[in-house]
Amino acid sequence: MANYSTNEFKGGLKIMLDGEPCAILENEMVKPGKGQAFNRVKIRKLISGKVLEKTFKSGDSVEGADVMDTDLAYLYTDGEFWHFMNNETFEQIAADEKAVGENVKWLVENDVCTITLWNGSPIAVAPPNFVELEITETDPGLKGDTAGTGGKPATLITGAVVRVPLFVQIGEVIKVDTRTSEYQGRVK
């Protein structure tokens, strides 16, 4: 993998840090009136998800990380792995629990997810921004309530819990924003 000099740093660049692939979020140059310049970089570790700040001496190089995002459709889980498929090549990839993480609750069959691969292996799974899921459990609401007042928790078929308006009932399919866990509306 190529090395990157600090001059090539920018948001989105993938580099290796402490043996872990990372993505640069922000890069700011800091320079004294006279003397050595530094780059203060905000970095997200791609496996642990941790965000941290790191300072480099300007002009230094770091190893790039062989990280790429690929869009794959979710197929099924066998309990140990979650299987995804490339809809064009039909090539399949299995992600483990660590890679899927909390996003397991947003995985809907046939939905296209973004899988982050490091050296060819999945390290993160990002669901689409919006998913449609069936409600399996929620209190019966009061009649005449309109959206936006109060609300109640509802458990979805994948185990995710979101707040929904009182009029939404068990068995209905709703649209949810996976980034905020917010209810968007009912799906007819």
Partner 1 sequence: MSEQLWMPSAKVATLRQRAMILQKIRAFFAERDVMEVETPSLCAASVTDAHLATFSTEYIGPGNSAGLPLYLQTSPEFAMKRLLAAGSGAIYQIAKAFRNEESGKHHNPEFTMLEWYRPDFDEFALMTEMNELMVHILDCQPCTSISYQQVFMDVLAIDPLSVGLDELKVEAAKYGYGDIAAVETQRDTLLQLLFCMEIEPKIGQQAPCFVYHFPASQAALAQLCADDKRVAGRFELYYKGMELANGFNELTDATEQATRFTQDNHLRVEMGLSPVDIDKHFLDALDYGLPACSGVALGIDRLIMLATGKSTIKDVIAFDIARA
Decide: is 74 part of the binding site for partner 1 (CB under 8 A).
Answer: no
Site of tokens 């936006």: 148
Decide: is 142 part of the binding site for partner 1 (CB under 8 A).
Answer: no
Which residue, 1 or 29, has its beta carbon nearer to partner 1?
29
Using CB under 8 A, pick the residue from 3, 7, 48, 87 that binds partner 1.
Answer: 7
Using CB under 8 A, pick the residue from 2, 12, 19, 35 that binds partner 1.
Answer: 35
Using CB under 8 A, pick the residue from 1, 3, 11, 36 that binds partner 1.
Answer: 36
Query: What is the enclosing helix (H) or strand (E) of 175?
Result: strand 173-177
DSSP-assigned letters across all residues of 50-91: -EEEEEEETT-EEEB--EEEEEEEEEEE-SS-EEEE-TTT--
Distance between CA atoms of 62 and 60, rounded to whole angstroms?
Answer: 7
- Give the end-to-end CA distance of the chain in Å, rounded to a whole number: 49
Which residue, 36 or 92, has its beta carbon nearer to partner 1?
36
Contacts with partner 1 by CB under 8 A lie at: 7, 28-38, 40, 55-58
